[in-house]
Structure 1
Amino acid sequence: MAWWVWLIIAFAIGIVELSSITFVLLWFAIGALVTAFVSLAIHDVWLQLLVFAVLGVALFVASRPLARKWKRVKSYPDRSETLIGKTGVVVTASEPGAFATVRVQGDLWSARSNSKLEPGQNIIVRAASATILTVEPIRGEG
């Protein structure tokens, strides 16, 4: 195959990779690019295909441990996670286990508690999910 065919293949795979942002096809695009240069010296199409396949798979396999490591590293905490330990005020009352509305750092959140919550009561956030806080009243209030 001509070298420019491998460049077109590398470009096409690169475009698909950019639209998917998975970094899976990136290695095959690089394999096609390297094969374009190899095809200048090796004219056998089957050998070129072998070089492309081996390079693509080898780069993919070599990058998996790095990808897993980067995926595990959480660089930024979720907004709800930053609320743990913060205090707030009950806006709407609730019985134990039912939903209440609380204001924490100026934002309204749905919240649950194992205690009865009364409007105006101060609370502390003990756990947080994407949309629901687990809170408990601050003891010692008068």
Structure 2
Amino acid sequence: MEPWAYWLIAAGILLVLEMMTLTFYLLWICIGAVAGGIISLFAPDAYVLQVILASLVALVLTIFTKPLTRKIHSAKGYEDTGIELVGKQGIVVESIEQGQYGIVKVGGDTWSATSTQKLDRDELVRVIKRGSSIIEVERWEELI
């Protein structure tokens, strides 16, 4: 197989992983892999050059976009929809086995969720913790 195909496969895998994590770090590495693939089209035997260029592209994108994302997150009017999730009620859309992932709907959004309890479909839950793209939930217990 041609070297550019390996770079393209790596970029595709990284892009899919980025869509699952939503961190942007894997996106920059994905773009670096695309750059390595482009170089491999013109210099298929220059493996060291391909790796160096791919690494540099990913590093430069990471370094220069970090202040930009920090600025966007601290801008007036920016709202992270996940911050106010803790304590909110949701409903289990896809059952959650203990230590496994399921899907929970909170408000109008669906989230990947985990729990220390087994939760069945259509059970009411409370959000107790939020990660970057996964929430932790527990069974909703009404206060009497």
Q: TM-score, normalised by structure 1?
A: 0.51
C-alpha separation in 2, matches of 1:33 and 1:77 = 30
Deviations 1:48-71 (A, max 9, x none): 111111111011101111110111
**Shift in alpha-carbon separation, 1:20–1:39, aligned structure 2, 3 A:** same
**Pairing 1:61–2:63 present:** yes
One-letter code aligned to 1:65:
P
* Alpha-carbon distance in structure 2 between the residues aligned to 1:52 and 1:2: 13
Instruction: Return the offset for 1:75.
Output: 2.5
Match of 1:44 in 2: 46
Q: Distance in 1 between matches of 2:73 and 2:20?
A: 19
Aligned residues: 78
Runs of 4+ deviating beyond 4 Å: none
Give the letter aligned to residue 18 of structure 1: M
1:99-142 Cα shifts (integer Å, max 9, x gaps): xxxxxxxxxxxxxxxxxxxxxxxxxxxxxxxxxxxxxxxxxxxx
What is the Cα deviation at residue 77 of structure 1? 9.2
Where does 1:3-18 land on structure 2 (aligned, <5 Å)?
3-18=4-19
Unaligned runs of 5+ in 1: 79-142
Bigger Rg, which one: 1
Structure 2: give runs of 5+ residues left out of the alignment. Answer: 82-144
- The superposition leaves residues 21-44 of structure 1 with CA deviations (integer Å, 9 ceiling, x where unpaired) of 011111110111121111111221
Q: 2:50 and 2:80 mapped to 1: Cα distance?
A: 46
Q: Distance in 1 between matches of 2:36 and 2:57?
A: 9
Amino acid at match of 1:57: L
Identity of aligned residues (%): 29
RMSD: 1.9
Compared CA separation, residues 48 and 75, structure 1 to 2 (3 A): same
Residues 1:40 and 1:23: Cα distance change in structure 2 (over 3 Å): same
Query: How far apart, in 2, do the equivalents of 1:12 and 1:59 lie?
Result: 19
What does residue 23 of structure 1 align with? 24
Aligned counterpart, 1:2:
3
